Every structure is written in structure tokens, then in C-alpha cells.
């Protein structure tokens, strides 16, 4: 399967700080997605990116689709306690067919009040 | 707003037992899929379906069967459970097309003893 390397694996930050995480792949993706997972729940879509170079915001979240189509980053500004959770990047490739997603290994975010 | 519904939420099986994990969606989505989530490995695709009567294998299909007799339902079957299948299983659905975000259920936590 396609490998997505996500970093960092975990982060401990103070409330109010900004957060940055990224995802790289050995393969090209046509769509990059960022999901958040809370304990005991399924992943929830945060941001979807469809074009190389695209920069998209959703409230305090900003994500970019790398120009090479092999990477993406997610920034969270002014973190708050409810930002706690696991963040996953996911890529979608036309070559693999359908809507099949390949997920990164996740970044576990802890926000200290 | 039911979305994607998975049952059961928790299950403990003995090695060799069979089990069906249920997944239903009420959004008339053509695409449905099953993922498993293991610690440190993100989500990996097991099987997927692009419509009723059509199924295909994902990244880790061995030990699992699926069928898609209706648009709404996409059950996942373990014919002879093995300890290596201990995991959290997520079902997802979306409209077809690479720009359609997937909606996830809340997961089934399965333990094989």
C-alpha cells in the first residue's frame, strides 16, 4: 500500500499556542484530506484539498496541498482545549480507484490549559 | 441525522468464531468502505463497494468478506476470527467521485481472545 508519513507523532502544547503538523508521501495524490478523531468516535473531516498549491482555511485551521502533490500540512492557530484529539492526513489517488483513502499514522495533540 | 451507523459498538469473540459487523447509511451514498484502525498504523482499507452488487478488495482484505445487496447496508464478515483481527473497525460512505468527502461511523471495537 501507499505510505503516508505523518509528523510529529504527538505534541504537547500550551493553550493559545499555534500547532503545525505535516504529511508526506512517496506517491502523488490527487486529493489531500485532514481528519480529526475524538476518543470513541470515527474520524471527522476538517479540510479537503483538491489542487496542488491550494491553501484552504476552516476557522482556526489552515491546510495546504503541496506543489509536488506528495505532501500537505495542517496548522491550528490559537489552540484551545477542545482541539485535543488525533489528527490524520489522508490521500486519495485516481490510480487506486474509487474513493479509497490512504491514511497517515496520526498526530496526537494534547493541549494544556 | 443518522449518517453512518455501526453495530455493535463492542464485541469480544473467541478464536475461530464467526461474526458480522453491521454498517448502514441513510444518505443514499454509492460508495461504502471498511477500515481497520490499529495503534500506530492509522486506518487501513479492508474492502470497499462503489454500488449495490459491486465489491472489491482494499489493502488488507484477508480474513474478511463483504457483500452489498442494498445501497444502504454493507456488512463485514469474519468467518473464523483470529487474534490478529483484534482492532477497531470503521465503516465510511460517500457519493462517488474523488472530491466527495467520506463520512465515518463511530466504530466497532473488536477483541479476539
Residues of chain B positioned with their CB less than 8 A from the CB of A6: 42
Under 8 Å between Cβ of B105 and B23: yes
B55 vs A30, which has greater pLDDT? B55
What pLDDT, on a 0 to 100 scale, did the predictor assign at position A92? 86
Contact A79, A18 (CB under 8 A): yes
Distance from C-alpha of B17 to C-alpha of B19, rounded to nearest angstrom: 7
Residue B45 pLDDT greater than 70, yes or no: yes
Whether A7 has a pLDDT exceeding 70, the answer reads yes
Enter the C-alpha cell of residue A44. 471527522
> Scanning every residue of chain A, which has its alpha carbon at the shortest distance from the alpha carbon of B42?
A105
Q: What is the pLDDT, as a whole number, of residue B41?
A: 77
* Tens of pLDDT, residues A72-81: 999 999 999 9
Q: Tell which of A47, A87, A99 to mutate to test the B interface (max B CBs under 10 Å).
A: A99
Question: B111: which strand partners?
Answer: B12
The answer to whether the beta carbons of residues B89 and B21 sit under 8 Å apart is: yes
Q: Do B96 and A105 touch (CB under 8 A)?
A: no
With bands split at pLDDT 50, 70 and 90, how would you rate the model's confidence at B98? low
pLDDT per position as a tens digit, B31-42:
999 999 998 778
B2-31 average pLDDT score: 95
Chain B residues whose C-beta is within 8 A of a chain A C-beta are: 4, 31, 33, 35, 40-45, 48, 50, 56, 58-59, 90, 92, 94, 96-107
For residues A100 and B18, the model is more confident at B18
> pLDDT band at residue B102, thresholds of 50, 70 and 90?
confident
The sign of the torsion formed by the CA atoms of A84, A101, B28, B65 equals negative
Mutate to test the interface with B, among A42, A97, A100 (most CBs of B within 10 A): A42
Is B22:B73 a contact under the CB 8 Å cutoff?
Answer: yes
pLDDT grade for A96, boundaries at 50, 70 and 90: low
Pick from B113, B112, B111: nearest CA to B10: B111
Residue A101: the pLDDT is 85
Average pLDDT (A85-104) is 83
User: What's the average model confidence in pLDDT over B6-23?
Assistant: 97
Measured between beta carbons, which residues in chain B are less than 8 angstroms from residue A35? 104
Structure confidence at residue A2 (pLDDT): 66
Residue A59: predicted pLDDT: 96
CB–CB of B31 and A1 under 8 A?
no
pLDDT at A98: 63
Inter-residue contact A74 to A57 (CB < 8 Å):
no
Interval B57-97: pLDDT, tens: 998 999 999 999 999 999 999 999 999 999 999 999 998 87
Q: What letter would DSSP give residue B102? A: P
> B99: left (phi > 0), else alpha (psi -120 to 50), else beta?
alpha
C-alpha span between A101 and B98 (Å, rounded): 10
Amino acid at each position: 500500500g501507499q505510505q503516508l508519513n505523518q509528523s510529529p507523532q504527538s505534541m504537547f502544547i500550551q493553550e493559545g499556542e499555534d500547532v503545525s503538523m505535516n504529511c508526506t508521501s512517496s506517491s502523488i495524490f490527487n486529493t489531500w484530506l485532514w481528519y480529526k478523531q475524538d476518543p470513541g468516535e470515527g474520524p471527522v473531516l476538517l479540510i479537503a484539498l483538491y489542487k496542488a498549491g491550494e491553501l484552504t482555511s476552516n476557522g482556526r485551521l489552515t491546510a495546504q496541498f503541496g506543489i509536488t502533490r506528495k505532501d500537505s500540512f495542517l496548522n491550528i492557530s490559537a489552540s484551545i482545549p477542545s482541539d485535543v484529539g488525533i489528527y490524520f492526513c489522508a490521500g486519495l489517488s485516481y490510480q487506486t480507484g474509487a474513493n479509497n483513502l490512504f491514511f497517515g499514522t496520526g498526530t496526537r495533540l494534547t493541549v494544556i490549559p | 441525522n443518522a449518517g453512518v451507523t455501526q453495530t455493535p459498538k463492542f464485541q469480544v469473540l473467541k478464536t475461530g468464531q464467526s461474526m458480522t459487523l453491521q454498517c448502514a447509511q441513510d444518505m443514499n451514498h454509492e460508495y461504502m468502505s471498511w477500515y481497520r484502525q490499529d495503534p500506530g498504523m492509522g486506518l487501513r482499507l479492508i474492502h470497499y463497494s462503489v454500488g449495490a452488487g459491486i465489491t472489491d478488495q482494499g489493502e488488507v482484505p484477508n480474513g474478511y468478506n463483504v457483500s452489498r445487496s442494498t445501497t444502504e447496508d454493507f456488512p463485514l464478515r469474519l468467518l473464523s476470527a483470529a487474534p490478529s483481527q483484534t482492532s477497531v473497525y470503521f465503516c465510511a460512505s460517500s457519493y462517488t467521485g474523488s472530491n466527495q468527502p467520506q463520512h465515518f461511523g463511530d466504530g466497532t471495537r473488536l477483541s479476539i481472545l
